[in-house]
Structure 1
Amino acid sequence: MAPMSTKPLVAFYGATGGCTLAATTNALNEGYDCTALARTPSKLTNLLLSKGVSQESIDNHLTITQGDVLKVEDVKGPLTLKGRPADIIVSGIGVVNGMDMFYEVKLCETAATNIIEALKQLKPSKKPVMVVVSTTGLTTTGPRDVPLLFKPMYDLLIANVAADKRRMEAALASEYNSPNSVIKGYVCVRPSLLTNGKVYGKDYIRVGTDAAPAVGYTISRDDVGLWLFENLIKGDNSKYLGEAPTITY
């Protein structure tokens, strides 16, 4: 790899998935040093090339660790680069099997807790900000953050998936509020229903909060990744720390 830049070092988990792949693509295209965990590194490389990332950018700015997010030892790999600790961790881990809606799933929760455990074991010299891709439809109190038409789907069809996301968010909040927290802060990004559809760009993305959520029907994975990059990697993420911003069109 080329000499490391002064830009934040970003560690990606779930980089072969839509939202995180888009965030990784934007980061590499702007010269950020990135690390990633992938079960099949060649799959990630090929996906990045298909998104228009140059081979030169991949060679100079990306280090891929082969492994599984369900194994703490594997998770450790992307958290440092030649002794340099990651400044920002982005996890877009999520279920992809449609049958998961019928069974209890713990993938997102396990990924988050494994990253936290890996940080505890590594004891990096600097605490990172941890960003996770969550979902709308998690709140049980306060304003509704999904359209009324979609509420039955969220309450019934993806209840187990939502429960996994809810536990993931709780794990981050618990770690951050612990006396010896290993994270500087966290952001739980809650996009509306994800699609692989048209990309509208950052000017079309609405952002809300728990108190005043942005309610919408859908948002493309590529636009979620763009928002992640522009606001939580490239931009000042401090205003979102400890928050769960909702994003939609």
Structure 2
Amino acid sequence: MSIATTQQQIAFFGATGGCTNACLVHTLNAGFHATTLARTPSKLTSMLLAQGLAQSTLDSQLTIVKGDISDISAIKSVLTNNSATFQVASQIISGIGGAPKIQKSLRRPVTVDNPEICATATKNIVQALQEIYEAQPSTAQHKPSITVISSTGISDVKEDVPFGFRTLYHVGLATPHKDKKEMERLVLENSGAGGAFCGAVIVRPSLLTGDQSVKGGKGWGKLKVGREEEPAVGYTVHRADVGEWIFEKVVKAGDCGESFFGQKVTLTTLEFDLFQSEIAKIA
């Protein structure tokens, strides 16, 4: 049943990724309108149809802009839904990230195909918004919020990674985490008075498992939720549950997630005994 009461437009970046794709599915199922960027629109369409969405829903509620995150013009089209009046989306959900790559290095064994993709994407979204505001100043009166998917293991305040994963996170994943940390700095720096965004929500899930299938998770209500000062510490979390949490607490929220503005929210599920059972299934 549709819960959207207004023609809110939600802008998605990285919608073929697991967490963001799941969030998009819930958003469309709830009756919201969305615009997303995709290098291969047919791939995204196939993923959404496989999730049980009807073609008629995609036709009436979703606009896919072909392009990538380096294309400022394409980003502007996503943010304004190709509108000549430059009506800006009310919210931005970004799950942009690079594909992991293993390299021959004891100090940095894991890198990504584009080690600065998260920071670059954020800079380009900010630039696109600034150009929109300059072209039509009235749009700056209704700036969008932004929610980005980051990672645990990068906090300067309190350890949010269980002991058994600290070498993996602090050594093995140092390169992609450096990019996530810069992304976080940029979204917070550009939020609030004078910024490109009215507010920012940073989501830090623990190690992601599963895919985007909304039927594959355990449900957002079972997640352990924390803040940077008091993080929820755990081993893994399902991508679909992260996406559903973002929908429930940000997209669906009447205040556009304002209660989480400026927060670094940690999400996890499995305790150590459940983690061991999951490992046993794989073995």
Q: State the partner residue of 1:97.
A: 100
Write the distance in 1 (CA, Å) between the matches of 2:96 and 2:196.
Answer: 20
Q: State the partner residue of 1:210.
A: 228
Superposed, which structure 2 residues align to 1:1-249 within 5 Å?
6-81=6-81, 82=83, 83=85, 84-99=87-102, 101-102=110-111, 105-123=115-133, 124-125=139-140, 126-140=142-156, 142-176=157-191, 180-196=194-210, 198-235=216-253, 236=255, 237-249=257-269
Write the distance in 1 (CA, Å) between the matches of 2:5 and 2:63.
Answer: 14
Letter in 2 for 1:191: P
Write the distance in 1 (CA, Å) between the matches of 2:165 and 2:58.
Answer: 39
**1:151-192 CA distances to partner (integer Å, 9 max, x unpaired)?**
100011110000000000001111126x62121000110000
SS in 1 for 2:190: helix
Q: Percent identity?
A: 39
Name the stretch that deviates more: 232-241 or 34-43: 232-241
Letter in 2 for 1:150: F
The runs of at least 4 consecutive aligned structure 1 residues that moved more than 2 Å come to: 81-84, 97-104
Q: What is the TM-score normalised by the length of structure 2? A: 0.82
Write the distance in 2 (CA, Å) between the matches of 1:60 and 1:130.
Answer: 24
Structure 2: which 5+ runs fail to align? 104-109, 134-138, 270-283
Structure 1: which 5+ runs fail to align? none
Contact 1:5 1:33 in 2 (8 A): no
CA drift of 1:207 comes to 0.5
Letter in 2 for 1:145: D
SS in 2 for 1:98: strand
**1:75-111 CA distances to partner (integer Å, 9 max, x unpaired)?**
1111012332100000000112323824781000000
Letter in 1 for 2:210: N
Write the distance in 2 (CA, Å) between the matches of 1:243 and 1:46.
Answer: 34
RMSD over aligned CA atoms reads: 1.7
**1:25-74 CA distances to partner (integer Å, 9 max, x unpaired)?**
00011110000000011111000001111111100100010001022222
The alignment covers a number of residue pairs equal to 244
SS in 1 for 2:70: coil
Contact 2:111 2:176 in 1 (8 A): no
